[in-house]
Amino acid sequence: MMNKGKVFLVGAGPGDLKLITVKGMDAITKADVILYDRLLNPQLLMQAKENCEFIYSGKLPDRHILRQETINRLLVEKALEGKIVVRLKGGDPSVFGRVGEEAEELALNEIEYEIVPGITSGIAAAAYAGIPVTHRNYAGSFAVVTAHDQSADGKPSINWAGLAQGVDTIAFYMGIKNLPFICENLIANGKPSETPVILIQWGTYGRQKTLEGTLATIAELAKEQQFLNPAITLVGEIVKLREKLNWFEKKPMYGRQILLARSGVTESRIANKLRDLGADVIEFPKMKAKKERAELPNLSEYIDILFSSPESVDDFFALLKEEKLDIRSIPRNVYGASSKSIAKLAQFGIMASNMPNDIDPNQLLIIGEKNIEQVYENAHYFYTHEMIIDENYFPIYNRLFEDAAIESVIIPSSTAFTTMMTAAKKMNMDPVSFLKEKMLYCMGKKSSNATSKLTNEQITIPEKPTADELLHMMISQGEELTR
């Protein structure tokens, strides 16, 4: 009989990719199956191992994708198949996440499980709006409250008097629909009508949006501005601190929603920097490397060796080890096609550099992926892998594109552009419409030429093809747009 698997009930945090716990990320990387909700950042799933099964179990206000009973049953079934299963929820699974019901079902079926806490949005969204939920001068108590329940009208039945008179800071989850009901009950039970209120939509994302008012005004303001969920409603005098402490929305790239074209699998320095500066970044498409199992050539025949990518470095040294070849058999002149490749070579003790222009291609061995552009006609090529678009992630990208409003596209190379357009076509998106009315940033002439063949949109190229130069230019343009 097959051994039972294990289930991890994981809180994914509120949206910022870096707010997931180390233990939560560890569970994602080990999972065979992930059941995920709507209110987490789908880009966390990009960290899953190849061939992980994704099951969308998200709930929308007007419909349920999977009923809770079905989710419970799937957790048990997948674990009984001997798999590591992750139930991934936005925020913390114990805060309105039904983790109790799921844990009960697993315990009943004697399935091993762990609950991995996450940062709940009532605290995180408030912090990213510049509001600590407690402060010794403003609030010594804090409560999280569901803004809807399972009754026929969905209006929560709670101790309004105790809440209004006994709690300083109140965070209502997903309360936009019932906002008039909430405000009326708090006022009727003793909360002053001038009590400050803030609505925080998409908290901790670059697209975070806020709306301030009071218990007397916020419902009408939300209706006028068509403010929608997902949002937290924060009530209390502590909201006044936002004027002093609003830090996140002052970041230079706050509010920017950017698509970064990808053609590789290594971590993107540009994407990380943009997120640190406050932007939302979608890296598209997700790639995977299909290994090529060819026999290594006789390395002693070459004077120079060029590695086209960090992935090719890893694959090459793995082959050296597999074939029990001495590292000293590598040609004396070693080059990297990019700073990432050079940095990767340094990890193996090889101090490489950029390749000079006067190389004799007849004595040059290029190590790289199968679809690499063959710049040197007479050079010899050894393919370590082939980069393939991972279509398993297309449903996840559909969700990302639905929620985001992308206004800028960064195209690092002509290969990245071609790969992005191929993926868009596979997802039944029109490539021209995909780029329409977006700010396009190309890292050089090759990527610019490839892009201009498909679109008439204006293309901007930084003076130097570096991440720092690109970011400086984008920040400057953003400042001009907001003046």
Cis (ω within 30 of 0) for the bond into 14?
Answer: no
Question: In the numeric block, which tokens belong to residue 419?
Answer: 């790969």
Positive or negative: CA dihedral 23, 29, 35, 40: positive
Which residue out of 6, 16, 174, 314 is catalytically annotated? 174
Report d(CA 269, CA 274) in Å as an integer.
9
| List of residues 6+ apart from 348 with CB closer than 8 A | 313, 317, 327
| List of residues 6+ apart from 18 with CB closer than 8 A | 275
Question: In the numeric block, which tokens belong to residue 372?
Answer: 């690499």
- A 10 A CB-CB count for 304 gives 19
Terminal C-alpha separation, the chain: 68
Q: Give the β-pairing of 333-336 and 408-411.
A: unpaired
Report d(CA 365, CA 332) in Å as an integer.
12
Q: Are 253 and 475 in contact (CB under 8 A)?
A: yes
Which residue out of 4, 23, 30, 59 is catalytically annotated? 59
Which residue out of 16, 37, 92, 315 is catalytically annotated? 37
Active site residue 276: no
- Residue 418 is inside which H or E element, if any? helix 414-426
- Residue 219 is inside which H or E element, if any? helix 218-224
Q: Are 125 and 249 in contact (CB under 8 A)?
A: no
Q: Please tell me whether residue 14 adopts helix, strand or coil conformation.
A: coil
For residue 308, which phi and psi values (nearest 5 degrees)?
-85, -15
Instruction: Indicate left, alpha or beta for 13 from its phi (over 0: left) and psi (-120 to 50: alpha).
Output: left
Q: Please tell me whether residue 195 adopts helix, strand or coil conformation.
A: coil
Report d(CA 105, CA 362) in Å as an integer.
66
- Residue 169 is inside which H or E element, if any? strand 169-173
Question: In the numeric block, which tokens belong to residue 314?
Answer: 């890893």
Active site residue 59: yes
| List of residues 6+ apart from 138 with CB closer than 8 A | 168, 169, 236, 237, 238, 240, 241
Active site residue 324: no
Q: Which residue, among 18, 4, 14, has the nearest Cα to 37 in the 3D structure?
A: 14
Convert 103-135 into a string of H (helix), E (strand) and C (coil).
HHHHHHCCCEEEEECCCCHHHHHHHHCCCCCCE
For residue 211, which phi and psi values (nearest 5 degrees)?
-145, 125
Residues involved in catalysis: 37, 59, 174
